[in-house]
Chain A
Amino acid sequence: MADPDAPVTYEGTVSVLTKFGLEQLSPYFEDLAKKYEELHPGVTVELDQESDDSVKGKTKTLVASNSLPDIYFTWTGNWGHNFVRGNRAVDLTKVIGPGTEWGETFAPAAVKSFIYNDKYFGIPLYLDAKFMGYNKAMFKKAGIDKPETFDELISACDALKETGVTPISLGNKEAWPVVHYVGQLLAYNVPQETLEKDFDPKQADYSHPGYVKALKEFKEIEEHCTDGTSMNGTSYASALQAFSNAQSAMYYQEILEFDQSATKDTPLKVEDFGFFQLPAPADAEGDPKAIEGAPEGYMINARSSNIPLAIDFMKFVTSPENAKTLSAPPYGQPTAVKGVVDEEVSSPTVVEGMQDIAEASYLMPWLDTANTPHVAAAWLTSLQALAGDTMTPEEVVEKVREAAKAEARR
């Protein structure tokens, strides 16, 4: 394998698989590619931009056909570990590890999220976490304040319903939106060490009572705050649209979506947009200061013919100037580069959200990327059944436990 720290030869092609395929995000990498090609006329940047949903299938197709591009998108957790396990990711410790010039430019927790086998394999691009976005005007009309506790959230939903609005728009056609609610509730109800033990199918037993409790709490949210079982027939994009159109009072969203929820063109005005962390239940046994979220980033293909050039392109992408562009509207993706996100660059809500992430005691990874694919699939399908009232919380936990056991036997 080529030395990642070798001198760069500015010749040839760099291929990149991004997760910026959405219309509002795609210009970011397109502009960077153009700028990089202007700086280095001998280089061509080839982009393959996928969406959040399509990138999963596309990546696996590319892996199976040994056609991964030089640079590819990755989540943390089990997803990223697969590339390391298969020797498909370059060990970047020499260039991004502790004490390196490039590594020092990132928030330490972000770089550390891509440590596997004590080595650094990922380049974090932005930080992500889940918050409840809310419409301040609708809250005011219902005579309620931002809820501080779980019970207050439920009461707020009841008050909002009385004013004739849907308290929370929730679309679960894709199955992962409810997984995100449950992920945050699990972080509150199940101690971190138990959760992390259960992420490993060989050690998992899912016996902690916090699992069932978290699922019951989700059902409470479903009953009081959402349109109920019909959520499985609505896409997450439609639910976000309902919030932006001021047809619902809340939407549980990633910080990445803040700048898309409220814009100068949406019925939900920027000044009416606020957010809060999903409130923790009073008697939870887990960590009430945990936030569900993780950085997302990129890896370098270990079989790339020009590893130093690929690394150089990513250094360009994560330069302070380009990190500022990424963090500012319309992209609003809070960069993992230190000292860039401030009120001059990003929306005040994004800045505030970043502070909450920095203060979080634990970043609970997404359940569908932290777990092995088989266990993740069990979470996804059984939570759809829970939302549709065809499974009980106990049955969901049992199904996930069985999936982990089956995975461990393989």
Chain B
Amino acid sequence: MAISLIVLCWFVYYPIVDNFLISTTEEDIFTGEVLHVGLANYERLINDPVVWRALWNNFAYAGLSIVFQVFGAFVLAATIEGLASDRWRRFWRAVYFIPSAISITVSGLLFYFIYQPKIGLLNAALENIGLGFLIQPWLGSEQTAIYAIIAMSQWQGFGYSTLLFAVAIQKIPRELFDAAIMDGAGPIRRLWSLTFPLTREMTGLMVIVTITGAFQVFNEVMVMTGGGPNNSSQVLGTWLYQQGFIENNFGYGAAIAAVVFVVTLLTGIAQLWYTKRRRVQW
């Protein structure tokens, strides 16, 4: 017990505390000189327009992911689990889960080619169905780059969430559905009044996982745009990397990491509190 506590403190809590300490310094990694700057990095962070842009992008990522990967996946899971045939249920679960089995880096590269302005599938498809006016350099435009990345991420993560919701729905006793049908409840009423409340814990968990995941997003942005063009698709994770490993501002990078930590921690606490308060038991 004591050993596990020590290991936990050393590998989990000490780095968090150390990160806050680093965020009050500015280090020259080449000379090793460390300058204590107090809260100057946080002041700089407030005045950095790219941080606000990155924060917006993270929130957009979280918001759209909740819509698609939580509520969308919930509806899809309920639809699949409502199918009479077990064979078809297994088939659709597999179909939606397959993209999640592909690594995010590979997915990023795949979608880089799909979004390619000249030879990409998306623009070619738009052209062929008469929507040529929508053609964009999806990853090359400041207006669309982050949303193109988010769209890829939904494709990649949607199936995983669906599978988790499917498991949660399977745990609901069948008699409850039978009783609801006998009471005359239609599919939408059953979804809203039965399935949704009885999977609230899973929904709460998925919201936490989705929001924390949205604030830790890194790989897909690095692979697809590197945060560009003109920093328009930066998220806090990539801006942190840019500051630390490209511009040598490790203290400032640590301050950005501290913001990510605080946002995800607060989200987690709020969601746990909400879920506990509204827990439904049967």
**Using a CB–CB distance below 8 Å, which chain A residues touch chain B?**
56-57, 60-61, 63-64, 82-83, 85-88, 172-175, 227, 229-235, 238, 373-374, 377, 381-382, 384-385, 387-388, 390-391
A388→B141 contact, CB < 8 A: yes
Q: Is A175's CB under 8 angstroms from B247's CB?
A: no
Partner of B230, one of A230, A234, A384: A384
Closest-by-CB residue of B relative to A174 is: B226
Q: Does B225 contact A (CB under 8 A)?
A: yes
Assuming the A-B contacts A57-B245, A83-B30, A233-B137, are A384 and B228 also in contact, with contact meaning beta carbons closer than 8 angstroms in the complex? yes
Q: Count residues on chain B whose CB falls below 8 Å from chain A CBs.
A: 32
Q: Let me know if A86 and B230 touch, CB within 8 A.
A: no
Closest residue on chain A to residue B30 by CB atoms: A86
By secondary structure, the B interface counts as: loop
Q: Is B248 a contact partner of A60 (Cβ separation < 8 A)?
A: yes
Check A175–B226 contact: CB distance below 8 A. Answer: yes
Contact B230 A60 (CB under 8 A): no
Task: Report A-chain residues with C-beta under 8 Å of the C-beta of B187.
Answer: none
B-side contacts of A374, CB under 8 Å:
247, 249
Other-chain residue from A61, A233, A381 in contact with B138 (beta carbon distance below 8 A):
A233
Do the beta carbons of A229 and B137 come within 8 Å of each other?
yes
Q: Give Cα A337 to B241, complex, Å.
A: 37
CB within 8 Å of A: which of B229-257? 229-231, 241-242, 244-250
**Which of B96-104, B109-117, B212-220 is found at the contact surface with chain A?**
B109-117
Instruction: Say yes or no: B226 contacts A173, CB within 8 Å.
Output: yes
CA distance A168 to B247 in the complex (A): 31
* Residues in chain B near residue A238, CB distance under 8 A: 116
**Contact between A86 and B117, CB atoms less than 8 A apart:** no
Q: In the complex, what's the smallest C-beta–C-beta distance from A361 to chain B, in angstroms?
A: 32
Q: Which residues of B contact A (CB under 8 A)?
A: 28-32, 112, 115-118, 137-142, 145, 225-226, 228-231, 241-242, 244-250
Cα-based distance from A175 to B138 in the complex (angstroms) = 16
Given A234-B117, A234-B118, A229:B246 Cβ within 8 A: no
- Tell which of A57, A64, A388 touches B140, judged by Cβ atoms closer than 8 Å: A388
Q: Which residues of B contact A175 (CB under 8 A)?
A: 226, 228-229
Smallest Cβ-Cβ distance to A59: which chain B residue = B245
CA distance A225 to B30 in the complex (A): 42
Contact at A390–B142, with CB atoms within 8 Å?
A: yes
CB-CB under 8 A from A388, the residues of chain B are 140-142, 229-230
Among residues of A, the one whose C-beta sits closest to the C-beta of B118 is A227
Q: Roughly how many angstroms separate A85 CA and B33 CA in the complex, as a whole number?
A: 11
